[in-house]
Amino acid sequence: MRAATLGAVLATVAAATQPSMIGTVAVSRSTWMAMTVSVQYDRPGPGDTLELRLDVRRLTGRRLDFSPARTALPPGSGTVALATTFHGILPPPTPIVLHLEVSNRAGRVVLQRDCELHLVNLQGKEAWAGDLVRAREAAGLSWRVSTCR
């Protein structure tokens, strides 16, 4: 009886302290100026609703002129979509970093993840600056997640 009770208590404590997990991160729709990012998450155990924030940065960590996005992550598992648009004067560099943060109600960050995105053409090959100058090529450019850490 004691062993079963102790096992149940340990399982409850482990579930309560386990943070939200970000699974798959993908760009579901995009142009070079806007993107919708789909994030699959898993929240083991009950708890408060967490907030997922997204911002876009250079590889050096400096923020780019993409609008920030945020959404709630209720307990359980699911997929959320975050939309962001570029407001800069010059085209963004490629690759860029998609910075994701999960925070609790108090604003404490409980999980961070960085995903590198590359601008690609219709054939899936990496784009270069000249592709943004030509209207026909620029219309077919999109962002693709290459790695997440």
Q: Using the predicted structure, report yes or no on whether residue 19 has a pLDDT greater than 70.
A: no
Is this structure's pTM higher than 0.75? yes
All residues at 6 or more sequence positions from 104 whose CB lies less than 8 Å from its CB, including other chains? 48, 50, 51, 110
22-30: average pLDDT: 93
Within a domain: 6: no
CATH number at residue 69: 2.60.40.10
pLDDT digits (tens, 9 = 90+) for 61-98: 999 999 999 999 888 888 999 999 999 888 888 899 99
**Of 117, 111, 107, residue with least CA distance to 57:** 117
Report which listed range, 88-92, 114-118, 135-139, is most confident.
114-118
Which residue range is the domain that position 129 belongs to? 19-148
- How far is residue 102's CA from residue 71's CA, in Å, rounded to a whole number? 10
Distance of CA 115 to the CA centre of its chain: 7
Tally of structural domains, the chain: 1
Within-domain flag for 5: no
Asked, for residue 3, whether it belongs to a domain, the answer is no
Is 90 among the domain residues? yes
Token duo for residue 22: 């970000």
Query: Among residues 20, 21, 37, which one has the least CA distance to residue 96?
Result: 37
Does a structural domain hold residue 121? Answer: yes
